[in-house]
């Protein structure tokens, strides 16, 4: 199974808030859920999945290993704990959350440990998040024939990550866009509003459709059922070449980067 093109993000959602969001999303037809060890909500998500009645085979569950668990003696055990919290036999995709280039654990150790976890059946696929071109090239050397299912990175109209996107396209490497709505900034953008108005859509739908049309997966989050439902309509929105060209002019590069924790972020492309 390829990484689904549309899923639910759960970053910053905790306790009853994440339960409500996941419950609403599943009821609306979402079948891919993205979480992470660092989000502190795997247990709550597992609880809702168990109560939902949705067959496990219909779901695609992604989690991410947090940097504290990168060492060989911790990674597999931590993923086993994540799987237990989520109430499943295995997750569909596990990502290295941040490359942590200056951290105590080298990429060779954490990537081979992740591949070991896959061999043990804890995860069906493996991938990375927040990796640059150079880090992806190194990861491919380390993993050899083991496929990288996706690289999950910040991509939105103001940070279009073109160097990485061009490399990924040339290599046939899938990208997942997070923060596709630029934490709501696209909603107030005049260009996005004009395109939305022309299509009878919302700026959020336009941003998501823009990412989808480039072949990226998207994982928008919301605490409101109506927004979760509205976001899904991006799947049916087709933007014109002119629309895409207008959005291309919004790119401001690294100046608009939102997620950039100094201790684990790489030297960005």
Q: Which residues are catalytic?
A: 39
| Per-residue tokens: 120 | 């043990």
CB of 44 closer than 8 Å to CB of 18: yes
- Residue 62 pairs in a beta bridge with 34, 93
Longest dimension (CA), the chain: 55
Q: Is the dihedral of CA 107, 113, 10, 217 positive or negative?
A: positive
The burial class, CB within 10 Å (0-12 / 13-18 / 19+), for 102 is exposed
Q: Tokens 């959005």 belong to which residue?
A: 247
18: left (phi over 0), alpha (psi -120 to 50) or beta: alpha
The burial class, CB within 10 Å (0-12 / 13-18 / 19+), for 136 is buried
Q: Tokens 């597999």 belong to which residue?
A: 76
């Amino acid at each position: 199974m390829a990484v689904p093109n549309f899923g639910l993000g759960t970053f910053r959602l905790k306790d009853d808030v994440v339960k409500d969001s996941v419950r609403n999303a599943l009821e609306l037809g979402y079948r891919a859920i993205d979480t992470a060890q660092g989000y502190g909500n795997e247990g709550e998500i597992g609880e809702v999945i168990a109560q939902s009645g949705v067959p496990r085979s219909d779901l695609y569950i992604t989690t991410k290993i947090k940097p504290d668990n990168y060492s060989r003696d911790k990674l597999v055990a931590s993923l086993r704990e994540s799987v237990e919290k989520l109430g499943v036999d295995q997750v569909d995709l596990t990502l290295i959350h941040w490359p942590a280039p200056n951290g105590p654990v080298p990429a060779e150790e954490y990537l081979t440990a992740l591949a070991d976890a896959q061999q043990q059946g804890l995860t069906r696929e493996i991938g990375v998040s927040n990796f640059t071109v150079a880090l992806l090239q190194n990861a491919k050397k380390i993993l050899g024939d083991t496929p990288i299912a996706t690289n999950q990175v910040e991509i939105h109209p103001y940070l279009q990550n073109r160097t990485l996107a061009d490399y990924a396209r040339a290599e046939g490497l899938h990208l997942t866009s997070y923060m596709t709505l630029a934490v709501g900034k696209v909603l107030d953008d005049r260009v996005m509003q004009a395109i939305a108005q022309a299509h009878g859509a919302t700026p959020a739908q336009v941003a998501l459709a823009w990412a989808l049309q480039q072949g990226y997966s998207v994982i928008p989050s919301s605490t409101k059922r109506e927004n979760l439902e509205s976001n899904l309509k991006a799947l049916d929105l087709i933007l014109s070449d002119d629309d895409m060209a207008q959005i291309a002019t919004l790119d401001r590069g690294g100046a608009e980067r939102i997620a950039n924790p100094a201790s684990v972020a790489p030297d960005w492309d």
